[in-house]
Structure 1
C-alpha cells in the first residue's frame, strides 16, 4: 500500500507530465504560427499546471512539518514554508 507521501508525489508527477505535454503543444503552436490568443491560453494552462504541482509539493512539506519529527530530517519552519508559498506567487 502506498503512503500518503507516495500518493502525493505520484499526483505531482502526473501534473508535471501533463504540463510537459501542454508545453510541447505550445511550442508546436508557436512553430506552426498559431494565433497569439490560442498560444497564450495554452501557456496559461501550462503555468497553472506547474503552480498546482508546486502547491502540492509544498502541501506535502506542510504535512511532514506537522508530523512528529522522525529524527532523519529537520522539518521545515513556518518561515521556510511561507517563503516557498510566496515563491509561487
Structure 2
C-alpha cells in the first residue's frame, strides 16, 4: 500500500521488502557492469549485464505501481492517487 504522500508504506512490508530486494539486485548487477567495463570485458558481456540491470529496475518499478494499484482499489480515497496518474507511471516504465 501507499501512504497519503504516495510512498510505499509499512502497511505492506512484504511489498516493501520485495522492492528493496530487487533494487539491491540491480545495484549488484550495476556494480558488475562497471567492473566489466573497467576490466575491458567483451561488449556482449557488458550488454548482457546492462540488460539484467534494466530488467531488475523495471520489475521494481512495476511492483511499486502494482502495490499502489492494490491500495487504490482497496481504498480509493486513502492517498489521493488517481488512476490516470498510475496509468502514466505504468506507461513511463513500458
- The TM-score, its normalising length taken from structure 2, stands at 0.84
- TM superposition shift of 1:69: 4.7
What runs of 5+ residues in structure 2 fail to find an aligned partner? 1-9
Give 2:88's match in structure 1, choosing from 49, 70, 83.
83
- Cα deviations by residue, 1:30-49 (Å, 9 ceiling, x for unpaired): 00000001100010000000
What runs of 5+ residues in structure 1 fail to find an aligned partner? none
- TM superposition shift of 1:50: 0.1
Structure 1 segments, 4+ long, off by >4 Å, are none
CA distance in 1, matches of 2:60, 2:38: 27
Larger RCO (CA under 8 A, 6+ residues apart) = 2
Aligned residue for 1:24?
A: 31
- TM superposition shift of 1:7: 0.3
- TM superposition shift of 1:67: 1.2
Q: Which one has the bigger helix percentage?
A: 1
- TM superposition shift of 1:68: 2.2
- The TM-score, its normalising length taken from structure 1, stands at 0.88
